[in-house]
Amino acid sequence: MSDELIAAGIATVDKLAAVADSERTYANSVLPIASFESDFSTFTSNISFYRYTSTDAKQREQSIALEAKFDEFSINLYMREDFYNAMVTYR
């Protein structure tokens, strides 16, 4: 599931960045990333929960590893210049 979520995030930003500046709207620029962020946040919050509450050390370790993976993904996604330019253009 985590790899699918990351792939969905990349695909969302790829599609958003591909929109021509003259055709950029709330529906094709802000809404897709907001929807992805909502799904991403829900999933990552559920994963993080186990880090703090599980009595199983292996489950806690897996949660920590996934959090690190998601943190790296988020940083790389939001540092994309094409994404930044798309949001600046919409604004």
pLDDT of res. 91: 82
Cα-atom radius of gyration of the chain, to the nearest Å?
15
Q: Is 1 helix (H, G, I), strand (E, B) or coil?
A: coil
Q: Does residue 81 carry a pLDDT above 90?
A: yes
Q: What does the pLDDT look like over 19-77, one tens digit per residue?
A: 999 999 999 999 999 999 999 999 999 999 999 999 999 999 999 999 999 999 999 99
pLDDT of res. 62: 95
Q: How many CB atoms lie within 10 A of CB 61?
A: 13
